[in-house]
Amino acid sequence: MPAELEQAYAHCESLLREADKDRYLSSLFAPADKRPHLHALYALVSEISSVRDKVREPMPGEIRMQWWMDALDGSPCGDAKANPVFCAVHDTITRFGLPVTAFVNMIDARIFDLYDDPMPTMGDLVGYAGETCSAVMQLAAIILNDGEQPCTADIAGHAGVACTMAYALWNLPKHTARGQLYIPLDILEANGACREDVISREATPEVLQALKDFHEAAVDHVSAVRCYADQIPRKAAVAFLPTALVRHYLAACGKVNDPLNEQARLPQWRRQWTLWRAARHAGKVCCGSS
């Protein structure tokens, strides 16, 4: 491997270690020859998902997103090769024949993150999760399966939704503080609440009931993941390892008295221990028990 490419992969590993500890720790259980490619994939995800935190207005964020879509789709603006994450991701796409469309759709879906528009319906959230978190799991599974499509689309679908919902609850204080909302409007309206109720960060009975319903829907997806767990090819199992934490994230969120203002806690040691245990017990790779 050329020195420049080695440096690009090393940059991705360093970025991931700092930006997404869960995925980084999960990648350590992958075969050594696959880890750099998982680091590249996950580093791109970290770059895209953090765009809102790096810009003050949506338009500069959209420009960044469009640059990535153009670069990955073969028509970059500027010297894309100077970007180490792009270099590593492009090499990974080429080596494993990954579908570029999946990357473009993932980035396009993430444009939603740049704005304060609420998630309209649960169906919209499922679609968003499918293009983002589920797609990342399926791409990781292809890498681990030596470029071949594994039969993991169903479990990737449920696992992606479960993770997305858990993170929406986990990050609720951060999102509401900046006017962002991933809790679907149809769930709020079914309980007599609205977007303004959540953004005002008042834990009314209506808002709390809506959050409880959302939490229960996330648990349902966790249960669905467990039904498919035994169908995951052993070679691809690490792709779904982060979902072992979902149940713990949801449990922590359920213990918070004021979910709109109080950040749930899950100690780092508990997360690392859960991943370690799940990696060594095939039946608990997804949403494993403690």
pLDDT in tens, 45-91: 999 999 999 998 999 999 999 999 999 988 766 677 789 999 999 99
Give CATH superfamily name and number for 118-290. Farnesyl Diphosphate Synthase (1.10.600.10)
Whether 286 shows a pLDDT value over 60: the answer reads: no
Scan for tokens 């799991």, then name that residue: 137
- The predicted-structure confidence for 198-222, as pLDDT tens digits, reads as follows 999 989 999 999 999 999 999 999 8
DSSP 225-245: HHHHGGGS-GGGGGGGGGGGG
- Residue 240, both tokens: 């779904």
Model pTM above 0.75: yes
- If we measure between CA atoms, which residue out of 236, 240, 86 comes closest to residue 146? 236
pLDDT value, residue 283: 46
pLDDT of residue 80: 73
Q: Which residues contact 68 (CB under 8 A, 6 or more apart)?
A: 44, 47, 48, 86, 107
| Residue range 20-43, pLDDT digits in tens | 999 999 999 999 999 999 999 999
What phi and psi, each to the nearest 5 degrees, are found at residue 184? Answer: -60, 140
For the chain, domain boundaries: 1-115, 118-290
Residue in the structure block whose two tokens are 């993941």? 225
Average model confidence (pLDDT) across the chain: 92
